Structure 1
Amino acid sequence: MYISLTNTPAPPTSEKPRRSGGRRPRAGIRTVSSTVITLGFVSLLTDISSESVSAILPLYITGVLGLSTIAFGVLDGLYQGVSAFVRIAGGYTSDRVGQPKWVAFAGYALAAVARVGLLFGTGFAALSAVITADRIGKGIRTAPRDALITAASDPERLATAFGVHRMLDNIGAALGPLIAFFILLAVPDGFSVVFVASLAFATLGVVLLGLIVPNVRTARREREASGARPRFAWSAVWNGPMRRVLAASGILGLLTIGDGFIYLVLQSRSDFAAQWFPLLYVGTNVAFLAFAIPLGRWADRIGRARVFVIGHLGLLAAYVVAALPMVDAAATVLCLVFLGGFYAATDGVLSALAAQLTTPETRGTGIAAAQTVIAVSRFAAAAGFGVLWFLVGREASLLIVAGALVVAIAAVTVLLAPLLRREKAGAP
């Protein structure tokens, strides 16, 4: 992969991006800004921190603390969804004050401070407070960070830039569980050691962001070039194609249960998954980083909405494989590959799609709106699935969700039909 070490994004072109047929010029196909690379390393360090903890949380909560699957569902829902309450505020603030770097910095710093609470919280209430603080930090930082990526990138290769960032992000997400695994291998029941290591990596990420990443401000640059003061228009966030994207994200998010539940299903029936439980997160994230750039480039070529919908077929496949009787190791590996492909086709691609459909002055808010809908819906999905598991059992609950997801994918395809037709026609 060739990477350009420049903080200045490639100038936009007046040509419409090609969605199919023909070839783009080779120059710059694999080029991203150094700002994207540096943000990728910030995310790498932060994800080592967060994923080293999330890899052991299912066992820590249900095994060490002895809490029920309903309690785990609530905590996992908090982990997935509490950031929703501040995502739009974070994106809106970065748009209005023109300081996306420092808004993101505040979020990263809060999440790092929350790591300290893991060393002392041992009950449901304490863990809820720690997870809430950590996820609020994530909610504050994510949209401003993605706005920085957008401002520093060529608009025609935006999904590719997000793919590069998510690749680096997921290297950290793969290393985190590995670190947790080897710590627990060397120090049985050494959960507190994992928490200390998590705090150290989070602190390094905050320092790197504060000292190295430039504060790219697209709206101000465009205002200086045009001499006009850009206006913030909520209609760019809530109306038009964005309304359909937000609705589609919510529908699909309601059927996206937490990975921890899938891993617990695999563990409960598979000696292979039980033995290597912390490394299941590694497998998912290795698949994610392997697919991130190819699927990002594919989304730039055939359409971001199209790839976002297709990606949910990977999630559906993961549900089916986890629920049906298969050879233990094969089922586990297939689940991890399908989950990684799902995240690679939806995470950065959705941010690129939201950035594409909003204006520079509302970009942070638009990205945050999409992420908020995802977070809220996944919170509901995780909490609801914990109850469903309790009522009907693990395999039956997965098959119920898989059936509902089939219907949802068909409904979302109809909902996004105007946008999909535009992408097929090559419209920007």
Structure 2
Amino acid sequence: MSAGVNRVDDAADAGQATPTTGRTQGDAGTGQAWRLVVGFGVVSLAADMVYEGARSIYGPLLASLGASAVLVGLITGAGEAAALLLRLVSGPMADRTRRYWTLTIVGYGLTAVCVPLLAVTPILGGAGLAVAAALILAERLGKAIRSPAKSALLADAASRVGMGRGLGVHKALDQIGAFAGPLLVAAVVAATAGALWPGLAALTVPAVVAMLLLTTLRARARSSPAEPDTSTGPGAAAKTGRDPLPRRFHWFAAAMAVCTAGLVTFGLIGFHLVRAGVVATAAVPLMYATAMAAGALAALVTGVLYDSLGSWVLVVLPAMIAVVPPLAFGGDLPAAVLGVVVWGAAVGLQDSTVKAMVADLVPRERRATAYGIFAAVQGAGALAGGAAAGLLYDRSVSSLIVAVVLSQAVALLMLLGVLVRTRQHRRDPA
């Protein structure tokens, strides 16, 4: 394939206007980029309703099919591990083949098919548990397949409207889906006297909506007769595969892994709030919904600040993470609510503005690879931090607080080093 076609392919993949459209990049490209950003955000909203809605009842569903607590942990844990670690494969694959749209559509398609099929597992008898486990793992595989490719497409579009602002808008829409999906399932389950399968079946609607929106978005992004879903050619692929990612990216990934390790999970927060009698069990989902709303707002605000003030806005992340345990485990309801709000804001910042920094640190043609590596490193941090937090919590809340504060001091020093090197690099690229 010729270099000229390759450039048109990249432009179409990114949502840019091309010479064949008769419009300039400056005029049409920005508007088309915003349509891609918002379009991906609405797709994520619908898809999050599907898999977040299902995840809210994975435990009860698997238990009703005969799974033990250990098996529930193994199935869900293996799914999350696959969703993160397999991005080490799907990210480089996307950059090597340039099939960003194909991988994105396949990944979303797995989620759209597997989650509604969980509704039939209760009628499969003894095979129901095995089928449910396979569907849950396949849905998480879909997440691993699509995430690096979609993130690369999204970052390319966001770079034309403001990286932080674009990813912030996308994350805010994404959070709305994460908020609405569990509420939809809970409402359907409550209306059907506690039956789980109708709630899963109801997720067929947002699943179909997500796929229709995605295919429409793909068709509109194809702004030239050239097919963007092709290889860039052996020479370009080989060059992409040989070029190492910048050292600053690896240091940034390590710093964010330390941040993630210190961010106690909402599961542990909810466990503590109920055990300590701070809130009733029924109020925990409402606390989580509050966190998701805070995450959406934080994604928008920090995204705008990232574009106007630069990457230094990220120094607030370790501080936010450090104050979560003293607040959430402090013992009274107002502090706990504030802790949950800060926790949600930190999650929103991690999933939007932090990803903007990743996109700015690496070459455009290596973004999918970078996002795959970044997710795997984050997953390792989350696994180590989750295990450590549980052990420290059982020992004493004070020891957990001290450990989180110390870890975030380390993360802050690492992050400052990256930011200083990034500023020096921009002043003197050589």
The amino acid that maps onto 2:16 is T
Partner of 2:253: 246
The amino acid that maps onto 1:419 is V
Q: Give the unaligned 5+ runs of structure 2.
A: 1-13, 18-23, 229-234
Say if 2:151 is the partner of 1:154: no
How far 1:156 moved relative to its partner? 7.3
Q: 1:260 to 1:360 in 2, by over 3 A?
A: same
- Superposition pairs of residues 181-260 of structure 1, within 5 angstroms: 181-214=186-219, 229=236, 231-237=239-245, 239-260=246-267
The answer as to whether partners of 1:177 and 1:282 remain within 8 angstroms in 2 is no
- Superposition pairs of residues 299-318 of structure 1, within 5 angstroms: 299-304=306-311, 306-318=312-324
Say if 2:166 is the partner of 1:167: no
Q: Deviations over 1:376-428 (max 9, x none)?
A: 33234445655666xx27xx3x5544322222222122223332225667948
Q: Deviations over 1:145-169 (max 9, x none)?
A: 1111122233571011000100111
How far 1:233 moved relative to its partner? 4.4
Q: Give the unaligned 5+ runs of structure 1.
A: 1-5, 13-27, 222-227
Say if 2:370 is the partner of 1:366: yes
Partner of 1:321: 327
Q: Deviations over 1:69-119 (max 9, x none)?
A: x66655554454321232132222221222211111111111223312364
2:380 to 376, 382, 406: 376
The amino acid that maps onto 1:232 is T
Q: 1:417 to 1:382 in 2, by over 3 A?
A: closer
C-alpha distance in structure 2 between counterparts of 1:73 and 1:236, whole Å: 37
Which sits farther off after the overlay, 59-68 or 407-416? 59-68
C-alpha distance in structure 2 between counterparts of 1:124 and 1:331, whole Å: 41
Q: Deviations over 1:202-243 (max 9, x none)?
A: 2321232123235679xx99xxxxxx9472045442x42011
> How large is the Cα RMSD of the aligned pairs?
3.7
The answer as to whether partners of 2:119 and 2:198 remain within 8 angstroms in 1 is no
How far 1:363 moved relative to its partner? 1.3
C-alpha distance in structure 2 between counterparts of 1:371 and 1:132, whole Å: 18
Q: Deviations over 1:21-70 (max 9, x none)?
A: xxxxxxx99996101111111100011112222334466678997854x6
C-alpha distance in structure 2 between counterparts of 1:314 and 1:321, whole Å: 11
Question: Bigger relative contact order, structure 1 or 2, given CA contacts below 8 A and separation 6+?
Answer: 1
C-alpha distance in structure 2 between counterparts of 1:64 and 1:287, whole Å: 35
How far 1:254 moved relative to its partner? 2.9
- Superposition pairs of residues 330-369 of structure 1, within 5 angstroms: 330-369=334-373
Which sits farther off after the overlay, 156-165 or 255-264? 255-264
- Superposition pairs of residues 379-394 of structure 1, within 5 angstroms: 379-382=383-386, 385=389, 392=394
1:281 to 279, 284, 288: 288
Q: Highest Rg: 1 or 2? A: 2
Q: 1:318 to 1:75 in 2, by over 3 A?
A: farther
The answer as to whether partners of 1:100 and 1:145 remain within 8 angstroms in 2 is yes
How far 1:303 moved relative to its partner? 3.3
Matched residue count: 393
How far 1:351 moved relative to its partner? 1.8
1:8 to 2, 10, 16: 16
Q: Could you tell me the TM-score, scaled by structure 2's length?
A: 0.78
Q: 1:49 to 1:402 in 2, by over 3 A?
A: farther
- Superposition pairs of residues 264-279 of structure 1, within 5 angstroms: 264-270=271-277, 272-279=279-286
The answer as to whether partners of 1:159 and 1:296 remain within 8 angstroms in 2 is yes
Structure number with higher helix proportion = 2
C-alpha distance in structure 2 between counterparts of 1:422 and 1:360, whole Å: 20
Q: Could you tell me the TM-score, scaled by structure 1's length?
A: 0.78
Q: 1:300 to 1:199 in 2, by over 3 A?
A: same
What secondary structure does 2:104 align onto? helix
Q: 1:124 to 1:400 in 2, by over 3 A?
A: farther
Q: Deviations over 1:270-304 (max 9, x none)?
A: 47441233333321111111221111111223333
Q: 1:381 to 1:415 in 2, by over 3 A?
A: closer
Q: 1:281 to 1:274 in 2, by over 3 A?
A: same
- Superposition pairs of residues 32-43 of structure 1, within 5 angstroms: 33-43=34-44
